[in-house]
Structure 1
Amino acid sequence: MSKYAGKRVVITGGSSGFGLATAQLLVGEGAHVLITGRNQATLDAARDRLGEKAVAVRSDAASLPDIEVLADRVKAEFGTVDALFANAGVNGFAPFEATGEALFDELLTINAKGPYFTVQKLAPLLAEGSGVVLTTSVANVLGLPMLSAYAAGKAAVRSMTRSLARELLTRRIRVNAVSPGPIDSGILEKSMPREAAEQTKAQMAADNPMLRMGDPTEVARAVVFLAFDATYTTGAELAVDGGGSQL
């Protein structure tokens, strides 16, 4: 029998990157997954790759009405949920002096407000003993240039990981965070020209203790560990960064 046969998992931001990699890993082990994303074409492509054990729902992590509709859809599809990976997020690069209100609001709304209310609205559907995983970033502990607003949002998620872990403890729901470092997930290509993205990735690899970028599947394995196997761990943050925040 597959390791996660019959498990029901919701993954926001699951149509690409390590959200999709996590969905693929879980489906391969027998789980049923519901993924979300904002782009219908990308969602449809992800659904085709995942097969019949997957449901794809268009949902905007920045929209509270969308999150509420998502909760209703999850209830209709699954009833209860064994794991929630609140992963939807965006990146944004700008010098501190040039960071405007629109960029700040976008980053904090999607990256901090989004996961907070995603967990809140889906919490009633979480089975006792289930696991929640939030996505933070090594940017919340490193003073990286061009990422001040992004880092602030991810630091907020690190804080809410502890708070939500404490508040959901009475239901034996564990809440942890995965903290990716330089992962070749395709997100850089979405936020900058391809040539600039390739130069950035080369520099990230050169600066990393392991001298390489990480692969989305390496993040996925950490997420699944926290969601299902780390049964005596809550409120923690697991760095998947080639040692970049530690060495």
Structure 2
Amino acid sequence: MSRLNGKRTLITGGTSGIGLETAKQFLAEGARVIVTGVNPDSIARAKRELGAEVRVISADSASVDAQRQLARIVEEHYGRLDIAFLNAGIAEWRPVEEWTEERFDRSFDINVKGPYFLIQSLLPVFGTPASIVLNTSINAHVGAATSSVYAATKAALLNLSKTLSSELVGRGIRVNAVSPGPVDTPLYDKLGIPDAYRDQVNQAIIDSVPFGRFGTPDEVAKAVLYLASDESRWTVGAEIIVDGGRMLNG
């Protein structure tokens, strides 16, 4: 198939989980792909799995300067950019009394500030038309305990998919969002859940999902692929929720 034949694409956080699987699906659909990451082991593994034609870049999503440098690299490599999947993010869950200003700022820097200034930096690079897909979360809607800061960052990012749509649609740039529910990815492994409670927490999450299991990166990537492709050319400022029915339970 060639739904993205020749499309020049950028995937942040593309060295593991949803980002890596999306990169593989983009490649299978004929796209040219650049991915970013920060973990040296993940970067090395992505290079092996994605092949020599894919450029894998180390880029700190919390740094505005790094986002500007990334935009310059993309322009030098492609000339123009057709698709950006802004997927890089962190998920830190903790009770409100345990948050420090430093941790709070880091979450917003990576999940909101970085993507915002990357979009700004890429504006002169985007082709016409172009598609931006933001990876948000159902936690933008669901009031899960201990998710206060993470959920706030994702709510901010989700709102950007709407406000930036209004601002950029006249330039031929579509902005949409995909909002996953509980997905079995390395991001989930970084939530800081003690091993002794992992099985208990896993079961509680599964019990909250009507479909009865975690989602997979593949299932989310398929939604991203649709929003990135020309099949969704009349879809602007929309959100696709991929959660196995989790939001049906509030």
Query: TM-score, structure 2 length as denominator?
Result: 0.94
SS of match in other structure, 1:214: coil
Distance in 1 of aligned mates of 2:73 and 2:2: 26
Query: 1:200: how far off?
Result: 2.4
Residues 126 and 196 of structure 1: CA distance in aligned 2, closer, same or farther (over 3 Å): farther
Partner of 1:243: 245
After superposition, the C-alpha distances for 1:90-113 in whole angstroms (9 at most, x for unaligned) are: 010111222221221111111111
1:159-238 alignment to 2 at 5 Å? 159-192=159-192, 193-228=194-229, 229-238=231-240
Paired residues in the alignment total 247
Asked if structure 2 preserves the Cα contact closer than 8 Å seen for 1:27 and 1:53, the reply is no
Partner of 2:88: 88
State the superposition RMSD in angstroms: 1.4
Asked if structure 1 preserves the Cα contact closer than 8 Å seen for 2:64 and 2:113, the reply is no
Partner of 2:105: 105
Asked if structure 2 preserves the Cα contact closer than 8 Å seen for 1:189 and 1:197, the reply is no
Distance in 2 of aligned mates of 1:50 and 1:98: 39
The answer on 1:121 being equivalent to 2:121 is: yes
After superposition, the C-alpha distances for 1:128-165 in whole angstroms (9 at most, x for unaligned) are: 11110011111110100111001011110011111111
Asked if structure 1 preserves the Cα contact closer than 8 Å seen for 2:136 and 2:180, the reply is yes
Residues 78 and 235 of structure 1: CA distance in aligned 2, closer, same or farther (over 3 Å): same
Asked if structure 1 preserves the Cα contact closer than 8 Å seen for 2:92 and 2:190, the reply is no
SS of match in other structure, 2:27: helix
- Percent of aligned positions with the same letter in both sequences? 41
Which sections of structure 1, spanning at least 5 residues, go unmatched? none
SS of match in other structure, 2:190: helix
Query: 1:201: how far off?
Result: 2.5
Residue type of the partner of 1:142? Answer: V
The answer on 1:42 being equivalent to 2:42 is: yes
Mean Cα deviation higher: 29-38 or 191-200 = 191-200
Query: 1:31: how far off?
Result: 1.0
Query: TM-score, structure 1 length as denominator?
Result: 0.96
Asked if structure 2 preserves the Cα contact closer than 8 Å seen for 1:188 and 1:197, the reply is no
Query: 1:199: how far off?
Result: 3.4
Query: 1:20: how far off?
Result: 0.5
* Superposition misfits of 4+ residues, deviation over 4 angstroms: none
After superposition, the C-alpha distances for 1:46-80 in whole angstroms (9 at most, x for unaligned) are: 02101133110000010011111101110111111
Query: 1:198: how far off?
Result: 4.1
Which sections of structure 2, spanning at least 5 residues, go unmatched? none
Distance in 1 of aligned mates of 2:54 and 2:227: 21
Distance in 2 of aligned mates of 1:159 and 1:7: 26
Residue type of the partner of 2:232? Answer: A
Partner of 2:17: 17
Query: 1:194: how far off?
Result: 4.2
Asked if structure 2 preserves the Cα contact closer than 8 Å seen for 1:181 and 1:214, the reply is yes
